[in-house]
Chain A
Amino acid sequence: MSHIRIEGLTKHFVGKPPTKAVDDLHIEIEEGEFLVLLGPSGCGKTTTLRCLAGLETPSGGRISFDDQVVFDAERRINRSPDKRKIGMVFQSYALWPHMTVRKNIAYPLRARRLKQGLRNGWVEETAKMVDCVALLDRYPAQLSGGQQQRVALARGLVARPDLLLFDEPLSNLDARLRDHVRAELHEVHGRLGFTAVFVIHDQSEALALGDRLAIMRHGRVEQYDTPQQVFEHPISEYVAAFIGMDNRVVCTYQDGRWAAAGRPIGGSELGIAGTAPVAMRLRADDLQVTPCDASVGANMSSLDAVVVDAEYGGRHLDVVLDANGTRLFARIPSGVSDSWARGLKQNDPVRASFRQSDAHFFDDETGSGASDIAEPVLNAVDS
């Protein structure tokens, strides 16, 4: 286990057009911390991970494990992957098909000449930890996806690396197995406390797994914080959108008051400082749908809209609304079978309301400058 420091990491790929896959990245990972790299496809997560592993040579920057520099562009230090004390779990698992599970797991011990590990039964111990002792003498081709995943994890862990790297290792599993393996992984990490970097593109899993999240955008870190902070206080519209605030409503200051989607807002006034247009972001399940004549609760604001579509989803209904040309997505309790909500039809007029504390405001043009109602948006717009 160690403390990982990434400073100014940059990676260009030559080609047509040239890509800046990682762009001046700064991250510090505390010892034993589980860092999740989150971001849409192509934002540079895999490249960052491969730079950490030494599989990719960065174009610039510095990476150190504790006080040992493993890469430094200026001093021309570049330790090859086998000289870094890491483990890695690949998306495809990459279990060597010509070796039994036992040999696969023992390989890092042999390659790193950890004789004492071989002698003291680290292989069996690790296999036990991930619950695959019974599989030790099988070949990878004889395992199911979930079992392969666990063997890959054991192979990554067995040599007790400073840093364990994961590149979307759950994405080849089906949804139910994924939940299961994720929970196991969380548990194993809790028990062993290794330092880990975990690449993922699904936000809900990221929240569950990480001690900290780094949300990446175009090769840079957009927000680096705990899952709670990211979830509750996204610092930019990009982050807000990525963690599930699907509704975007442009709010403008007209005739001395705030309007949303070009129409005056009902209920309580939005507490935004300044007068520049802002983009409001809201989660679908923070939006309530009520009949037009229902009263708006305290500290709630509302918009008038019409129903475009309603989908039944068991416990909830997914309702698509149109507010003066702006699409809104609401996820509301489906209630009992004769509830008002179940009767929604296309073009029914409704009222969409939300709690002010659930709304997040960003500069309309740059998407930057997180500002809740409590924090006037002006500060951010200036920056």
Chain B
Amino acid sequence: MTAVGVAEADAPSPVSRPLPLRALANWAGVLAFVAALCYLVILPLVRLQINAFSDGARGYRIGYTDPAFAKTLAYTAGLALGSLAIALVLGTLLAWAATRLPRSLRMLRVLPIFPIIVPAVASVVGWSFLFSPRPGYVNALLRNLPWWSDLKQGPVDIYTLPWIIIITGFGLTAFVYLFVSAGFQNISSEHVEAAQVAGSSQWGVFFRVTLPLLRPTLIYGGGVALLLGLGQFTGPLLLGRNSGIEVITTDIYRQMSASPIEYGAAAALGSPLLLFGMLIVLVQKVLLGDQRRFVTHGGKAFRSEARPSVIGAVSIIAYSFVATVLPVIGLVIVALSRFWSAKIDTDHFSLQSFRTIFAQSSVTQAIFNSVTISLLAVAICLPVGYVASSILLRGRRFGVLRTILDYVVSMPLGIPAVVFGAGFLLTYTKAPFVLYGTNWVIVLVYITLMLPFAVRMQTSAMLALGSNYTEAARVSGSGVSGTSLKIELPLMRSALGGAAALMFVLLTHEFAASLLVRASTTQVMGTILYDQYNNGTYPLVAAIALVMTAVTAIGVTAAMLVGGSDALGGL
């Protein structure tokens, strides 16, 4: 056995690996990692609270003695619950419809995700172009109908709560769709076939078998959608403020735009959302328990190939048309027009708006910033998420550190971006790291916001892989890093591509946190769009919104090329 002489060389002294030292080094490494993430995620929130409680809890007094506060709270709850209801029903039905697509129409599966690809600011603006009471295109069209012909405005008023709820619900539907589609993967087709054989109709199967089996997924996805609904900012800010519809997030923004900035009041207003978010994260952790219990091996995924249905395809296409295509049509019309009015003047359509925005260095700089900052944040988030997932799944020995890590990386999902924006502004305008006015503060807030996605998606990919492949590499003589690089990462390629795509998309759209931490010199696409919207230069707004959408689409395409065509399906 001279062949393995190399490996034997380090053998003779058996004391060569003193276990405690290595373990200590590991501990120190994990401690540093968790501490850094705590600094990033927790410190801004703590600083906000300190501010809110200082001066005899002045922040809380200002925030909660405002007579309008009760109404704000009611609007917030109404928006969250209403949009949640819409999203749950639509998302579940669409996910089910997607499983019933005929083989040739499989591609349609990705359509319901598209509302995530169109930036929220862009689609909200697009909706307002269509349904604004007076100049809204669809409203104008509807007024041609005989029974509405006497109306001067309407019939739809996008600036009212029900419509804000509907529009928000469309956006959340995509998220529920993602979760539920993943849930369908875990239902064996045999369960469904057994019910069909037992004599249930399609709908019977859906209500008696599929839906109950999906319950854990719906609880999880519903929890996330509820949190997102509570943290909604763009819709209420752009559509609700003029008609006096304030929700907590817009109220926070109001306090943050006051002069001097009312950090304390903003923090105090954010507290209910903060507490509720942490509560939901906690409950989900307790309910789901040890993730390793959910490892599923092989098994036939849910796929009812037997009876594809046309209704599935029709409903997916209809939903996509309404939720994705319609607002984009609104944007295109306005972007091509010289100004926004109810009458569409096709004769004077031109690309002038695009020329204008590309001639403005502020806009091109903002596009550049958005793309580079997002890419940087994704590039940092992926390895951070990989390390965090590895510790979460295999680091039982790190005990309490692991538990802390688990909560820290989940928290940004439960807490609205506006709150983080406020916290980061407060934290990074002061020592020791004065980063305000640089792109770095945006990078940091973006990393924070994406942590849950980076970790969760990689964790599930690792769970799905199981431990066999990596163990086989270890016993074949591969070290820890070699195993990660040669075995685990290549096998996770499509999951990583999917995670990168999702994060890039969400970040190039990011609006709420960006709006708070930006400086006049550090703008991103969303903030520059908002400035133009406030100026009332709508064709430019529309053009920027379309550019944003295009950037996102390019990012998604790139990720799909890297991660394989299933990258998005793996979301």
A residues whose Cβ falls under 8 Å from a Cβ of B: 1, 53-55, 68-69, 72, 75-88, 90, 92, 94-98, 107-108, 111-114, 116-117, 155, 159-160, 162, 165
Contacts and interface: CB of A to CB of B under 8 A. Distances in A.
A87 B18 CA distance: 25
A113 B491 CA distance: 23
Given A55-B471, A85-B7, A111-B477, 11 more contacts: A75-B15, A80-B474, A82-B482, A87-B475, A87-B476, A90-B471, A96-B487, A96-B491, A107-B478, A111-B476, A112-B476
Chain B at the A interface: SS class? helix
Given A76-B18, A77-B15, A82-B479, A111 B473 contact: yes
A85 to B, nearest CB: 6
A53 B493 CA distance: 28
Interface in B1-29: 1, 3-4, 6-7, 10-12, 14-15, 17-20
Contacts of B473: 96, 107, 111
Most buried by B among A86, A90, A94, A108: A94
B477 A94 contact: no
Contact of B14 (A68, A84, A116): A68
Contact of A98 (B20, B478, B490): B490
B17 A111 contact: no
Contacts of B493: 98
A69 B13 CA distance: 9
Contacts of B487: 96
Contacts of A90: 468, 471-472
A65 B406 CA distance: 39
Closest 6 CB pairs of A and B: A112-B477, A111-B477, A94-B468, A108-B476, A81-B474, A94-B472
Contact of B478 (A77, A82, A162): A82
Contacts of B14: 68-69, 72, 75, 77
Contact of A159 (B469, B471, B476, B479): B476
Contacts of A112: 4, 6-7, 476-477
B385 to A, nearest CB: 21
Contacts of B6: 112-114
11 contacts: A1-B1, A79-B17, A82-B474, A83-B10, A85-B4, A87-B476, A97-B491, A108-B476, A111-B473, A111-B482, A112-B6
Contacts of A160: 1, 3-4
B491 A98 contact: yes
Given A55-B471, A68-B11, A96-B487, A78 B477 contact: no
Given A90-B471, A111-B482, A78 B17 contact: yes
A75 B16 CA distance: 11
Interface string B482-495: 10001100110100
B71 to A, nearest CB: 49
Contacts of A162: 1
Nearest to B491: A98
B472 A159 contact: no
B475 A86 contact: yes
Contacts of B480: 80
B465 to A, nearest CB: 10
A98 B479 CA distance: 19
A260 B486 CA distance: 65
Contacts of A108: 476-477
A263 to B, nearest CB: 50
Contacts of A114: 3-4, 6
